[in-house]
Amino acid sequence: MTDFTFEEKTILVQYAIKKFENEEIVLEKLKNILPEKDIQRNIDTLIGTQKVRRIGPENIQNNESHTELPELPENLQSIIENL
């Protein structure tokens, strides 16, 4: 696994949520890139800071009406595209 900064991990999780919106799928897709503990911690942090919201028991989505998605750094673009 590649070492990512905290900010990069958060961005990866946000873009995975934008792409899939199902928490289980997000975990499944990212588990080869990030440790599951980091994924879950980032989801919890994003919910706590209202950047992501739960819209059901399994579905989560970016709260784009409340906050914008950060710009996707070049080094993360291919990772998101290949999820």
Is residue 18 one of the residues assigned to a domain?
Answer: yes
Q: Quick one: which of 73, 55, 81, 64 has its CA closest to 11?
A: 73
Is residue 1 one of the residues assigned to a domain?
Answer: no
**Mind listing the pLDDT tens digit for each residue in 18-69?**
999 999 999 999 999 999 999 999 999 999 999 999 998 889 999 988 888 9
pLDDT at 1: 60
Is residue 33 one of the residues assigned to a domain?
Answer: yes
Containing domain of residue 30, as a range? 6-77
pLDDT at 3: 87
Q: Are 17 and 62 in contact (CB under 8 A)?
A: yes
CA distance 33 to 17: 15
**DSSP label of 22:** B
Is residue 57 one of the residues assigned to a domain?
Answer: yes
Is residue 23 one of the residues assigned to a domain?
Answer: yes
Q: Give the CATH number of the domain where residue 23 resides.
A: 1.10.10
pLDDT at 31: 94
**Domain count of the chain?**
1
Is residue 82 one of the residues assigned to a domain?
Answer: no
Is residue 52 one of the residues assigned to a domain?
Answer: yes
